[in-house]
Amino acid sequence: MSNAAQPVQMNDREFPMSDHNFSTIAKIAYQYTGIKLPEQKRQMIYSRIARRIRALNLANFDQYCEIISDNKHAEFNEFINSITTNLTSFFRENHHFEYLESTIIPHLKKIHERDRRVRVWSAGCSTGEEPYSIAMTLLKNFSGSSNWDLKILATDLDSNVVATGRNGIYAADRVSGLESALVKKWFAANADSSRYVVADEAKKLIQFNRLNLLDSWPMKHKFDIIFCRNVVIYFDKPTQKKLFDRYAEQLNDGGYLIIGHSESLHKLTDRFESIGKTIYRKLK
C-alpha cells in the first residue's frame, strides 16, 4: 500500500459541507444577486463561508444556511461580500482607457459643448481602481476646463469594497505597475511609502454607493458611458439579457457601454453596435 498523502476530501474538512448546503448557498446567491455558483466554485465557496462560520462561532454549515435564509439577518451582507469576487487594478484592460481618451472624450466634448455635463457609471467598481482610472483620464483630457461638470457614479454589490474605494487608500503594490509620473500626479504616499492616497481632485469626481444590479436603480439621470466589466460573466443568459436592456435604458442616445474582455453582447441584445474591442454604442 502506498504511503503517499491522500487528498483531503470535503467531508474531512473542519466544517463538512453537504450537497444540500452548497445547493442552498447557490440558490440564495442566485435569488438575491443573480450570481451563478457552479460546482467548480464549490471549493472557493467552502473557503469563504468557513471563515464566516468561524467568525460567528457556529458549529456547521447547516447553522449558517439557516441564518442566511433570512435575508434581513445582519450576516446577509457579509454573506454577499464573501461570495463576490473582486479582482481589479488601475487601468486594467488599458485599451478601454486609450479609446476613452482618443475617441469617446473628444466626441463627448462636441455633443456636450453647450451643457458641459458628462456622467459616467462604473457598475461593479470593486475596490475603486476602475472609477479612479476613469477620473484620472477625464481630468487629464478636460484639464483647463474647470467649468465642465464631470461626475462618476461607482457602485458594487460588496459593501466592503465600496468602503475601500471611498477611502481611496491603496497598498504600494497596487500602484507599483503605474508610470512614476502618474503616481506622482495622482497619489500621495505615506511616510514609508507603504500606502498611497488618491488625490482629492480625483476623489471629488466620484460618488461610491452599494447597489445590487438586480434591484431597482435609484438614478434619475442618464449616463454617457457605463463601464460594466467582468460582472455579467457571473449571471446566466436571461439575466444578462435583462441587464443589458436596462443599461440601454440608462444611457443617453449614442452612449457607450464598455464590458470585460471575456464578455459579449452577441445574441443578447440588438440595442448596441460594436465599435471596438468590447466597446459598444447604444443604437436604440
Q: Active-site residue numbers?
A: 48, 156
Cell readout for 269 is: 441584445
Q: Output the nine-digit C-alpha cell for 12.
A: 474531512
Position 251, amino acid: L
Distance in angstroms between the alpha carbons of the first and the last residue of the chain = 68
* Cell numbers 461638470: residue: 149
Number of residues in the chain: 284
**Rounded to the nearest 5°, which phi and psi values hold at 233?**
-65, -20
Cell numbers for 6, please give them: 491522500
